[in-house]
Amino acid sequence: MKLSAQEWRERLTDEEFRVCREKGTERPFTGALLDNKSDGEYVCTCCGNKLFESKDKFDSGCGWPSFSSQSDDNNIEFNTDDSLAMRRIEIVCKHCDSHLGHVFDDGPKPTGKRYCVNSVSIQFTSAEK
């Protein structure tokens, strides 16, 4: 999904644009989805692509929603991020290139991964209808 910066600005809130399109970060412990424990799935704010499932969400204590795996290997792309004088692995939506957060190798078994995600870059869809 390719849109111009102006088209994204018209679709997103200022905070969503800053985080998702300009690779920003929301302040820790402020995201609306941090403490969500409901059953369902998490989709990209920008395009609706399914990214994570509630069964893989865990409390890492880091201040951002954390997941031990992605919902499908074809939904997230990994990029090297050398900003802030450190090397990290950025995660972005494969469908629209939206910045989601970063992935680290300090998560729970069996994956050992911690997908650290900005709440503003994802939306929750409840399994309860």
Sign of the CA dihedral running 58, 113, 80, 96: negative
How crowded is the C-beta side of 28, counted as CA atoms within 13 Å?
7
Residue 116 annotated to the active site? yes
Choose, from 20, 44, 93, 116, the residue flagged as catalytic: 116
Look at residue 57 and give its three-state secondary structure.
strand
Q: What is the DSSP string of 73-124?
A: TTSEEEEEE-GGGS-EEEEEETTT--EEEEEES---TTT--EEEE-GGGEEE
- Matching residue, tokens 């799935």: 41
Q: What are residue 42's phi and psi, to 5 degrees?
A: -115, 130
Residues designated as active site: 116
